[in-house]
């Protein structure tokens, strides 16, 4: 039996995928498979992956390539990887990130069979080359893990590469929710915590490397997808809690209200969003009973909203409100 499956999803990743594949191929641990799911890339990603597998005679059989004939979206391709995997354990790896060569060995040797997943949160961030960014080690407040995930407090307690999962545990909570366009790994960890999966956080040296990509277009797209996913996140997490952990409903709803405030203040600060966006989000909050007072609608449905969007208000007062809400979280 294969011990561990590394699942890589990619879409138009021609600039980074080769380095990512080498980071898997160079592992000191031997009993693994790597499943690459290409989500209908339109650049050279597929040819690069196929060429890599063809030229890797010693370990080429460890790599399995799944080629989608249309773009399905990230949660669906992640689930494709899970359902196609043969390993007892699963690690997810983004197509622009890297594993340290001892990553799999360390995680397998450390795994406690009484747990559903273990988290190795220590990672290094980089732009082009590992080591080009220096950051302080991130220590997780374990008493606030659920709160920090629900409120999406950055940096999150761990990224998608941090956990090593038992496959059976992922299947138990339904793997990834395919309705999401963002918050994909955040909502998975949130559900795992609400469900009560058993886990442990293991500190130590970094065993994975997270690549930072930035551009104005990319940031705007991410922010827009985050806003749209927030509706799904609020509704689905509250529903999941009611169904699987009713004893946690009060706690989860309290944290979700803080998430609502954080997103709402972002809408007021950013020029990217308009009146309709703000009103639709208020309606979402009322529908999910996060807010009840009609004053929200009265205040923002009238001309006062136009005043609140003036640069001096948006850039001053609302930015300060957003800052203090984030500190509150």
How wide is the angle at C-alpha 140 spanned by C-alphas 134 and 145, nearest 5°? 135
pLDDT for 113 beyond 60: yes
Q: How many CA atoms lie within 13 A of 53 on its CB side?
A: 15
pLDDT at position 313 is 47
Q: How many CA atoms lie within 13 A of 41 on its CB side?
A: 22
pLDDT in tens, 46-104: 999 999 999 886 667 899 999 999 999 999 999 999 999 999 999 999 999 999 999 99
In 95-202, where do the E strands start and end?
98-99, 117-119, 123-126, 163-166, 199-201
pLDDT in tens, 7-41: 999 999 999 999 999 999 999 999 999 999 999 99
Residue with tokens 């629900």: 150
pLDDT at position 308 is 53
pLDDT at position 133 is 77
Domains, the chain, ordered by start: 4-211 (3.90.550.10), 216-328 (no CATH)
Which of 310 and 127 is assigned the larger pLDDT?
127
pLDDT for 307 beyond 60: no
Buried b or exposed e, range 166-178, using 16+ CB within 10 angstroms = bbebbeebebbbe
Sheet holding 199-201, edge to edge: 63-67, 32-38, 4-10, 89-94, 163-166, 117-119, 199-201
pLDDT in tens, 41-58: 999 999 999 999 998 866
Element (H, E) at 37: strand 32-38
Q: Tokens at residue 16, please?
A: 């980074």
pTM for this predicted structure: 0.89
How wide is the angle at C-alpha 168 spanned by C-alphas 118 and 162, nearest 5°? 25
pLDDT in tens, 119-162: 999 888 887 788 677 777 777 888 899 999 999 887 777 999 99
Average pLDDT, the chain: 88
pLDDT for 329 beyond 80: no
Q: Cα–Cα distances in Å, from 100 out to 79, 111, 304, 321?
A: 24, 17, 54, 41
DSSP secondary structure string for all residues of 191-253: HHHHHT--EEE--SS--EEEE----HHHHHHHHHHHHHHHHHHHHHHHHHHHHH-GGGHHHHH
pLDDT at position 116 is 99
- Specify the range with the lowest mean pLDDT, choosing from 78-87, 253-262, 265-274, 315-324: 315-324
């Amino acid at each position: 039996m294969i011990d561990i499956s590394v699942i890589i999803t990619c879409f138009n990743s021609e600039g980074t995928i080769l380095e990512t594949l080498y980071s898997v191929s160079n592992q000191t641990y031997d009993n693994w498979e790597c499943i690459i799911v290409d989500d209908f890339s339109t650049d050279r990603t597929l040819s690069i992956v196929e060429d890599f597998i063809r030229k890797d005679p010693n370990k080429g059989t460890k790599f399995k390539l799944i080629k989608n004939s249309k773009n399905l979206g990230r949660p669906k391709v992640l689930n494709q990887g899970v359902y196609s995997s043969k390993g007892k354990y699963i690690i997810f790896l983004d197509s622009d990130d890297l594993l340290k060569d001892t990553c799999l060995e360390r995680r397998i040797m450390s795994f406690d069979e009484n747990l559903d997943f273990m988290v190795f949160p220590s990672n290094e961030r980089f732009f082009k080359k590992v080591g080009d960014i220096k950051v302080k080690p991130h220590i997780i407040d374990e008493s606030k893990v659920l709160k920090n995930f629900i409120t999406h407090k950055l940096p999150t307690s761990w990224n998608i590469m941090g956990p090593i999962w038992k496959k059976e545990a992922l299947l138990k909570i339904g793997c990834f929710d395919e309705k999401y366009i963002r918050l994909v790994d955040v909502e998975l960890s949130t559900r795992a915590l609400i469900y009560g999966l058993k886990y442990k956080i293991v500190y130590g040296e970094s065993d994975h490397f997270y690549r930072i990509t930035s551009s104005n277009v990319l940031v705007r797209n991410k922010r827009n997808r985050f806003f749209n996913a927030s509706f799904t996140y609020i509704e689905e997490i509250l529903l999941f809690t009611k169904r699987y952990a009713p004893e946690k409903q009060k706690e989860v709803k309290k944290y979700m209200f803080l998430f609502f405030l954080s997103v709402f203040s972002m809408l007021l600060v950013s020029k990217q969003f308009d009146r309709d966006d703000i009103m639709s989000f208020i309606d979402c909050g009322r529908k999910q009973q996060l807010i009840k007072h009609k004053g929200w609608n009265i205040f923002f449905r009238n001309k006062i909203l136009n005043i609140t969007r003036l640069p001096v208000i948006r850039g001053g007062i609302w930015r300060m409100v957003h800052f203090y809400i984030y500190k509150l979280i």
